[in-house]
Structures are given as C-alpha cells and as structure tokens.
Structure 1
Amino acid sequence: MADHPLDPFALLSKSQKLALDATTGAFDALVTVGRTAAQPDEAVRQVAALVNAVGDLASASVQPLQDFVTRQREIADTMASLATVQADLAVLVESLAHRHAAVVQSLENLTAPLFGLVARETPGADT
C-alpha cells in the first residue's frame, strides 16, 4: 500500500521528509550566508525550496484528513438512510401486529362457543 503513488500516507511521509530536508538545507544556507554573506542566491533558492516543501507537506497532510471527513459523511448518510428504512419497517411490523391481533380476536370469537360446548360435554369434567 505504501508504494502506491496515490497512497495519501506515503505522500504525507514523502512530503514530511522533503520538508525536513528542505528545512535543514535552508537553515544551513542561512547560517552560511550569515557567516560569509557569499552566496545569497543559494539562500534564496533554499528558502524557496523550503516554502515549496512546506506547501507540499500541508497539501499532503490535508488530503488524508479530507478523505477521512468525506468517508465519515458517507457513513453518517448511510446510517440516516438505514434509520429511515428501519422506521418504515417498524411501521409495517406494527401494522402486521394489529392485523394479527384482529385475526386472533376473530378466531377467539369463532372458537369460544365451540370451546364452551366441548368443555361442558367432556365426560368426567364434573368429577
């Protein structure tokens, strides 16, 4: 995974190394210029490289975070969709439960007289 050119963590690591190298080079050049004042063009080049490396580091640091936030938004949207579907399912199950209760009530109404008759005529029930 780290060898993939679009891997944000590999890009971050590479950018950090380049920024560190550029920082070290720029500070060394500035110290040298401060001591000798012989190569101001080299110091400017080193500082420009430092600015570019820091910009690349900032870009590489932001991309993984932006990807993470995007994925979290996708998860939140998926969970909201799931909650909506579950709410719809709950309404459907509630409706089925009421219908089933009505069927049970109808069966009780139909069978109550029969059960009453059977209970009165069972031999040995009076014992």
Structure 2
Amino acid sequence: MADLPFDPIALLNKSQKIALGVAGEAFDALIGVGKTAVQPEEAIRQLSALVAAVGDLAAASVNPLQDFIAKQREIADTMANLATVQADLAGLVETLAHRHAAIVESLENITAPVFGLVARDDADS
C-alpha cells in the first residue's frame, strides 16, 4: 500500500465519520421539518449532503476493494504461470537425470575392465 497516493483505510474511516455526521444532521432536520414544516430548504440541503456523503462512502469502500481484487487476480495469474514454469523445469530436470544416469552407466561399463585389471594387479602384488 506504500505506492498508493492515499491511505484507503483512512479515507474509508473519514468518509464513514462524515456520512454518519451528515446522516445524523439530516435525520434531526427531518424531525424538525416534520414538527414545524418551516424550513423545507434546510431539509433538502441536509438530504443532498447525506446523499453526497453516502456516495463518497460507497466510492471509498468500493475502489480499494476493486484494487485489492485486481491485485489478487494478478497474484493468482502469476502463481499459475510460475506453476507452469516449474512443471516445465521439473520435466527438464527429469530428462537431465535420465541422461546423467545413462552417462554414469556408460562410464561404469568403460571403466569396469580397467578397474578389474587394477584389482587383479593389486591382488597379485
């Protein structure tokens, strides 16, 4: 999150506080309008502010979640690609191991007569 120009959690927390404050004010204004019906413009202003705050809260909540989901998808795709590359590498190492075993067997076949002679000469000495 260090590369983000803002802290989404702090933005979410701030938006929630603002939305709760505006919601409380709008609710109080609606109760006041219901009792007196003298200030309908104030009630409309409060409701407009509430709608704006709720919109900001929704944006602050959704954007970080969308970013998080997009990053998780990137990680999943990267892990799938890594698994494919590792499977290819495992196949290559298996082939290399078989070839190395064949080379060792060939070396054993070539050196067996020489080692046999050396062992016989040592026994004769």
The normalised TM-score by structure 1 is 0.87
Paired with 1:84 and 1:123, the residues of 2 have a C-alpha distance of 56
Match of 2:22 in 1: 22
- Using the aligned pairs only, state the percent identity: 71
Name the CA distance, whole Å, in 1 between partners of 2:5 and 2:103: 65
Alpha carbons 1:5, 1:11 under 8 Å: kept: no
Greater displacement, 7-16 / 63-72:
7-16
Structure 2 counterpart of 1:75 = 75
CA-CA distance at 1:25 after TM superposition: 0.8
Q: Which runs of 5+ in 1 are unaligned?
A: none
RMSD of the TM alignment (CA)? 2.0
Letter in 2 for 1:123: A
Partner Cα distance (1:30, 1:124) in 2: 115
Counting matched residue pairs gives 123
1: CA distance, partners of 2:10 / 2:63:
12
What CA distance in whole angstroms lies between the structure 1 residues aligned with 2:86 and 2:116?
43
SS of equivalent to 1:63: helix
Q: Deviations over 1:37-78 (max 9, x none)?
A: 111111111111111111110111111111111111111111
Q: TM-score, normalised by structure 2?
A: 0.88
